[in-house]
Structure formats: C-alpha cells, structure tokens
C-alpha cells in the first residue's frame, strides 16, 4: 500500500485503486475511492461548505498502516487497504476482509472476499461496487428514508437503494454506537445490514463516496449531517394548519364550494389541493378550460379567504401533448436504452421529463409559470416524483448526466429544483412544494414529502409511523401521510371510519396536517364521455371533515382545535428543524438517548420534546400500554400526572388517542 499525506488528507493507492479520506466537518470524514485516474468531484448530497477542522495524518515508517484523526473520529488503513473507524478511541466500524495478507487475524482467510470489490460493467465505463463492513453485534441502525415495513430498527434488513411509489431511499443511517453514515452515491443498488456483515452495493458507479460522523447522541449526529447536506428553510406559519385534499376536485366550482363550506363551518384551512387530471393531457401542464374557465378568479377568491392553492404537476408527457414533440426533439425527455420510447403508461402513452438537463428544467418551469404560477398558484404538488416508471427496469433508462443506474435516486431532488430554484426569489420567498419522493439533501429545497399511495389499513398505518420516524432520522423533517391511507374501498365502512379517526389523531401531532385519499366506492359518473381532459377520469367520494357523519365530525373538530392551539409550539419545532435538522416527529431515543428502553420502542413517539404520542394501531382497541421515560408526565385527556420510568395502561376511547405532556 502506498500512503501519502496531502495537506491533512490521507491518500492511499493499491492495485489501481485510489483511496481518499479527508476531514469534512468536525468529527467527520468523507471517504472516496476510484479505479479511474481521478475523482469525478461530484458533491452529490454534500453541497454545503463544511466547517473548518484540523486533521492529523500519521504514516508508519514501514508503510504498513496509516492513521488520520479529526477530532473525536479516527480512521486507520492497513497495508491491505482495510479501513477501521474509531470514536474516542473505541472501534465502531471496520471493513470486512476475508482474503490473504490481512494484519488482523480474522481477516486472513482463503475466501478471497475483499472489502471493496470493483467489477467493470461489460461494454460500459462504469463499475459495480460492493463494499462490506463487519457487523457489530447488538448494534441498532435507523434512518435510511422510507421503506414500507414494520421494522424501525434496520439491523437484519435488506433495503433496495432505489425510488418507488411509497419507497424513498435517503441513504443516511444513524447507529446506536454513536455514528452516522451517509452513502453519498445516487446509484441504484442495495444495502444489507446483516448479522454476518453489512453490504453496500452500487450497480453502476465511477467511485465510492460516503461520509461518516461521530457524536454522543442522535441529535448531534443529525445536526452534523444537516450542516453538510443543507438546512430546511423556515416553514411558513400560514401552512402549519389544515391542508384539504381529495382525489379529486374536478372543477373550480367544486373547489370553491368546499372552501366556502369550510368558511361557513368556521374552520380555517391553510391550503386546498387541486389534484391530477385537471389538465387536458399529461404534459400540457395547464387547466382544462371546460371545467376551470377562470383559474385566476378562483385563486383570487381562495386567497381572500386566506387559503393557499396547490396544484398537481406530473413529470409524464403524453405523446398527444402539445409539449411532447418539442421536448422530444430537444432531448428533454428520459431516453430508453432499448425498445420503444415509453417510460410510463398510466392513462396515456408517456415519456417522463429529464430534470438532470437544465434546459428541461427551464422549459417545464416556463410552461408551469405561464399556466399556473401567473394565476397566483402558491405551490406545486410534484407527484410521481420517483419517477413512477411503468416498469422499474432502471437499466433501461438514461438521463442527460448518466444512465439511470448511476444516478436515478437523485431524480426527485432534481425534479423539485425545477420549481424551488425558480420560486425561491419570487413573491415572499417561502417555497413549500409537496413531493412523493426525496433523496439526501432534499430538505433544503422546500420539500414536504408524503409517504405515497398506501393502503387504508391499520397495518399500513403502523408502517407509516416507522416510515416517518426513519425519514426524520435521515434528515427529512417535513414529512406527512394521507390521513386514513390512500386506497379505500368504502367510505361508509365503520371499520374504515375508525381507522380514519385514529390516523387523523396521529396527523394532528405530525409535521403537516393533510386530508387526502382515494375514497370509494367509485359510483360517481364522469363529467363527460371524452377519453382525455379534466372530465373523463373518475373521482373519489367526498373527503372533507364533515363527510363521515356527525359523530366523526365532532372528533375531527376537537382535534382540529388541538392543532390550532399548538401552532406556537409547532412553529418552534419547525424553527428547530431549520436550525439543527431535528424532525418534528421523533423516536423516543432521540429525546432520551440514555434510556435503553427507548431504543426498543417503535409504537410511540415524541412530537418535539414536549409531547409523547401513543397512536392506536388496531381496530376496536380502546386502551393501550405506554412507556414513560424518567420525569413527570401529564395525560392530556384528564390531567392525571404520572411519574416516569414505568409503563402505564391508559384508556383510549375513539374520541381520544393517548398523549402525554412532559411537565
């Protein structure tokens, strides 16, 4: 192994590979390796200038080992190229090596398994990369974005590093051993946190790139991460209340009727959402004038009520769209490696936009500005932002910058920047757009991320809590769900209505309070018999607060009032999220890292530092056990005060979900 100290950066070369370990903020390293003659210099998620830090590099005289230290973190590299990381002198992570020549006994094996395996992709210039680490017994791993599963602790899980509808790969992990690691690579692949080893796979890449930091507690780990990937803006106060949405308002009269009724009921809504197929064709990005004859007048009336307006924009462009051939001719759409040029086939023969191309971003913004923003539209619902391919064959798609296999996980972030980069200097500067997907660093681009098209079941509701908590630990604080889930067969089913109330109660104690869902049965006829435009596609049943009967409406109004009474507190949480990356909904161990029990809990959470929330995840469950950490806690339903350090059983009638306020 050849080692070199390059002004406080450790460089190592062996067998054609160049390894670079450098300080990247306090107590942190950026680690890169490549088989090429030089690094790409892509920053990927590490867009912020790191705070100054002084690293010390020491190289052994016999060149058998080199050490680099940056504050509390240290890395050693042995002559076989194996990296070991230490926090305050204690080993936390070591690459996995089972081949000849290791200097640590367990590394010397005959298996010929190396720590960093590069394989050239036949016919291409990229490599596939397989990076392995030793597995730490007893370690717990969290974050990594959103995966539709019941497991919050990711140890033992295999996760696809790819974007899908309701799956969001944000590759930052937090360990209970006191470190956080960002896989700073948007390539499609997998990570497995196995019992025998951890394995990161990039199916096509030019270099290895990850960032690692150490700290005493998850809150500081997340603060370190936010400093290098970007801080969320301050969330506007006028969007912290109720967002009203359904699938789908088909006309401007429907929108105005709903808004007027809310005003009559004395319920202030902050936003109303105009969902998909208000347009003529996918990719036209404009209202169908048949059903939206005067968008400007509609927006003006909604604004007079204090209501912001958000409109759905999809990245798909139908071949019949007026924008298809101009965009195809100029190379602004995704390319397929083989077969027909089609990437999406829902309600049309479509190809999706390529937001990696700056010309695409400018083209789409100019159309949307003319047809939406100039009418006064306040925000955009950037749906299908993974993008939602007809088939997730990533190897068949190519963007301007690279094949999809190499960078597709960054697509939602680039899509969001079509709007953020142009909106941030307009109007009041408060950009808040709604997306179904994100990547590392998306928090800085005004993205509210929701959990996708999930079923309306108690099981899915439970999964969403795991999704939201891990998204927060991956640095995405503006996260939400469809209240009641997205897919409902029958809104009149009492079981569904019970689920809806439980989900609604949870949403009150979350970042964004948003009514949405596709509500069956589908017995509402279309507005016309055309096979295109704003009238032909089905709509769901009503989804306003009063739509589910008087008893449910009473509960919803009560919890609406609870949300409104907490606005000053919620504002303080958004301020904290902007300052240090703390999510609004937090794992129990985020607030109580010294309490071992809190590292085991995944069915209750903290809403900020003050409220402990214990949702109800089962049908006809009217009591539940709740663990209270050390301190004094007041049950908000009746004012009963409990001492912490114990598990209590409390009542949970339908009109109340258990919430404790820290005293």
**What local confidence, expressed as pLDDT, does residue 78 receive?**
95
Instruction: Specify the DSSP class assigned to residue 475.
Output: T
Take residue 301 and report the two structure tokens written for it.
Answer: 């009336």
Give me the percent of the chain exceeding a pLDDT of 70: 99
Contact at 8 Å (CB) between 20 and 33?
Answer: yes
Give me the percent of the chain exceeding a pLDDT of 90: 96
CATH code: domain of residue 134? 2.60.40.1760
Place of tokens 């500005």: 369
Print the domain residue range for 159: 2-229
Whether 137 is catalytic is: no
Contact at 8 Å (CB) between 158 and 190?
Answer: yes
Mean pLDDT of 232-243: 98
Which element (helix H / strand E) includes 302? helix 295-304
Mean pLDDT of 523-547: 95
Q: Name the active-site residue from 386, 482, 591, 603.
A: 386
How many angstroms from the chain centroid is the CA of residue 650?
33
Place of tokens 């003659």: 37
CA distance 643 to 630: 7
Place of tokens 């160049």: 18
Any domain includes 652 = yes
Secondary structure (3-state) at 460: helix
Any domain includes 637 = yes
Domain end call among 178, 212, 229? 229
Phi, psi of 19 (to 5 degrees): -110, 135
**What local confidence, expressed as pLDDT, does residue 101 receive?**
56
Any domain includes 501 = no
Label residue 564 by pLDDT band (50, 70, 90): very high
CA distance 169 to 155: 16
CA distance 467 to 648: 26
CATH code: domain of residue 629? 2.60.40.1180
CA distance 127 to 139: 30
Contact at 8 Å (CB) between 515 and 501?
Answer: no
Any domain includes 285 = no
Any domain includes 477 = no
CA distance 591 to 570: 17
Strands 197-205 and 632-635 come out as unpaired
**What local confidence, expressed as pLDDT, does residue 609 receive?**
98
Label residue 107 by pLDDT band (50, 70, 90): low
Q: Name the active-site residue from 453, 490, 576, 655.
A: 453
Q: What is the pLDDT of residues 363-372, one digit of tens each?
A: 999 999 999 9
Take residue 496 and report the two structure tokens written for it.
Answer: 């569904």
Any domain includes 88 = yes
CA distance 553 to 544: 9
Take residue 233 and report the two structure tokens written for it.
Answer: 């803006």
Cα dist from 82 to 67, 85, 111, whole Å = 12, 10, 16
Take residue 407 and report the two structure tokens written for it.
Answer: 């960078």
What is the pTM assigned to this prediction?
A: 0.97
Domain count, the chain: 2
Place of tokens 């789409």: 364
Domain end call among 229, 247, 271? 229
Any domain includes 174 = yes
Strands 55-59 and 65-70 come out as antiparallel
**What local confidence, expressed as pLDDT, does residue 94 receive?**
98
CA distance 26 to 215: 10
Contact at 8 Å (CB) between 229 and 46?
Answer: yes
User: How many H-runs (helices) and E-runs (strands) does the chain carry?
Assistant: 12, 40
CA distance 660 to 292: 46
**What local confidence, expressed as pLDDT, does residue 619 receive?**
98
Domain end call among 208, 229, 250? 229
Any domain includes 555 = no
Q: Please, what is the Cα angle at 184 between 401 and 209, to 5 degrees? A: 95
Whether 284 is catalytic is: no
Whether 529 is catalytic is: no
Which element (helix H / strand E) includes 591? helix 588-591
**What local confidence, expressed as pLDDT, does residue 429 receive?**
81
Q: Name the active-site residue from 27, 270, 318, 383.
A: 383
């Amino acid at each position: 192994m050849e080692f070199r100290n390059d002004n406080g950066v450790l460089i190592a070369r062996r067998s054609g590979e160049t390894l670079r370990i450098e300080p990247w903020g306090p107590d942190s390293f950026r680690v890169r390796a490549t088989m090429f003659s030089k690094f790409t210099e892509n920053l990927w998620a590490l867009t912020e200038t790191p705070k100054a830090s002084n690293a010390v590099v020491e190289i052994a005289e016999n060149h058998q080992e080199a050490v680099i230290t940056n504050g509390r973190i240290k890395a050693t590299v042995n002559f076989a190229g194996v990296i070991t990381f230490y926090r305050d002198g204690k080993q936390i992570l070591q690459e996995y090596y089972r081949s000849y020549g290791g200097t640590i006994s367990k590394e010397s094996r005959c298996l010929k398994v190396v720590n960093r395996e590069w394989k050239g992709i036949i016919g291409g210039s990229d490599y596939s990369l397989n990076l392995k680490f030793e597995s730490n017994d007893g370690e717990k791993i969290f974050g990594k974005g959103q995966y539709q599963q019941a497991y919050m602790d990711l140890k033992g899980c295999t996760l696809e590093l790819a974007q899908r509808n309701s799956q969001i790969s944000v590759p930052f992990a937090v360990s209970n051993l006191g470190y956080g690691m960002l896989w700073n690579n948007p390539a499609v692949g997998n990570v497995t946190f196995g019992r025998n080893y951890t394995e990161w796979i990039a199916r096509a890449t030019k270099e290895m790139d990850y960032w690692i930091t150490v700290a005493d507690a998850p809150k500081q780990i997340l603060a370190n991460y936010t400093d290098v990937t970007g801080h969320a803006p301050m969330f506007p106060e006028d969007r912290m209340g109720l967002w009203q949405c359904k699938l789908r308002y088909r006309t401007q009269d429907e929108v105005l009727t709903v808004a007027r009724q809310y005003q009559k009921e004395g319920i202030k809504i902050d936003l109303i959402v105009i969902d998909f197929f208000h347009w003529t064709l996918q990719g036209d990005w404009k209202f169908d004038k048949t059903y939206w004859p005067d968008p400007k007048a509609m927006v003006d009336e909604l604004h007079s009520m204090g209501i912001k307006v958000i409109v759905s924009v999809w990245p798909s462009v139908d071949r019949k769209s007026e924008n298809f051939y101009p965009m195809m001719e100029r190379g602004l759409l995704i390319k397929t490696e083989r077969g027909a040029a089609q990437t999406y086939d829902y309600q049309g023969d479509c190809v999706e936009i390529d937001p990696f191309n700056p010309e695409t971003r400018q083209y789409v913004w100019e159309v949307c500005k003319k047809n939406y923003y100039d009418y006064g539209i306040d925000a955009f619902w950037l749906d299908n932002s993974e993008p939602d391919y007809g088939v997730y064959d990533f190897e068949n798609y190519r963007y301007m910058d690279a094949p999809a296999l190499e960078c597709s996980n960054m697509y939602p972030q680039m899509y969001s920047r079509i709007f953020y980069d142009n909106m941030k200097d307009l109007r009041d500067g408060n950009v808040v757009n709604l997306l179904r997907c994100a990547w590392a660093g998306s928090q800085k681009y005004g993205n509210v991320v929701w959990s996708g098209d999930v079923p309306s079941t108690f099981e899915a509701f439970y999964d969403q809590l795991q999704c939201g908590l891990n998204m927060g630990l991956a640095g995405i604080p503006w996260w939400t769900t469809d209240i009641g889930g997205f897919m409902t067969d029958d809104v009149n089913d009492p079981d569904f209505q019970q689920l809806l109330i439980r989900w609604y109660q949870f949403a009150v104690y979350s970042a964004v309070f948003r009514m949405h869902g596709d509500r069956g049965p589908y017995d509402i006829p279309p507005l016309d018999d055309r096979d295109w435009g704003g009238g032909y596609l089905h709509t769901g049943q009503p989804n306003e607060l009063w739509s589910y009967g008087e008893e449910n409406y009473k509960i919803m109004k009560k919890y609406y009032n609870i949300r409104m009474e907490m606005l000053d507190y919620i504002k303080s949480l958004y301020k904290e999220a902007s300052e240090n990356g703390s999510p609004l909904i937090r794992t129990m161990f985020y607030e109580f890292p010294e309490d071992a029990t809190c590292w085991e809990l995944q069915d209750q959470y903290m809403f900020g530092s003050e409220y402990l929330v214990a949702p109800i995840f089962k049908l006809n469950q009217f009591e539940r056990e709740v663990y209270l950490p050390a301190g004094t806690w007041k049950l908000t339903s009746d004012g009963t005060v409990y001492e912490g350090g114990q598990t209590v059983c409390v009542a949970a009638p339908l009109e109340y979900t258990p919430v404790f306020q820290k005293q």
